[in-house]
């Protein structure tokens, strides 16, 4: 049985004076940005097959998965050098979402 995703993680903020750590962070951010930009520019090609599923992008390559766990596992296995993968859920329905405020 698949275990549920935990939503009780804690956020830790700390000062980092490690030059190598900062360099690694910049690399991750740049890789994430590249993957995110790739997904944005290929969104129209990916969406029709991905509705109701998860899209993983790593190494500027997309994979459609049934679960977020499968999406992250694919990214780690296929592109272990990519430290900035993107995983995103694609809504199953088409059309606009309407929100109402009863305030």
How high is the pLDDT of residue 74? 98
For the whole prediction, is pTM greater than 0.85? no
b vs e for 19-45, b when ≥16 Cβ sit within 10 Å of the residue's Cβ? eeeeeeeeeeeebbebbeebbeeeeee
CA distance to 28, 36, 60, 69, per residue, from 81 (Å) = 10, 16, 12, 19
Region 41-69 average pLDDT: 96
In angstroms, the first-to-last Cα distance of the chain is: 42
How high is the pLDDT of residue 12? 87
Q: Any idea where the domains of the chain sit in the sequence?
A: 20-89
- Give the model confidence (pLDDT) of 61-97 as tens digits: 999 999 999 999 999 999 999 999 999 999 987 767 6
* Residue partners of 32: CB distance under 8 A and separation at least 6: 84, 85, 86
Highest mean pLDDT among 15-19, 23-27, 54-58: 54-58
Which token pair is 47? 């969406």
Region 10-30 average pLDDT: 87
């Amino acid at each position: 049985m698949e275990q549920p995703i935990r939503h009780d993680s804690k956020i830790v903020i700390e000062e980092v004076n490690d030059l190598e750590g900062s360099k690694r962070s910049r690399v991750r951010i740049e890789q994430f940005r590249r993957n995110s930009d790739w997904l944005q520019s290929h969104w129209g090609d990916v969406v029709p097959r991905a509705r109701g599923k998860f899209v993983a992008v790593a190494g500027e390559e997309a994979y459609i998965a049934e679960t977020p766990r499968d999406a992250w596992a694919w990214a780690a296995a296929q592109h272990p050098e990519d430290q900035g993968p993107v995983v995103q859920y694609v809504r199953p329905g088409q059309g606009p979402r309407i929100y109402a405020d009863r305030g």
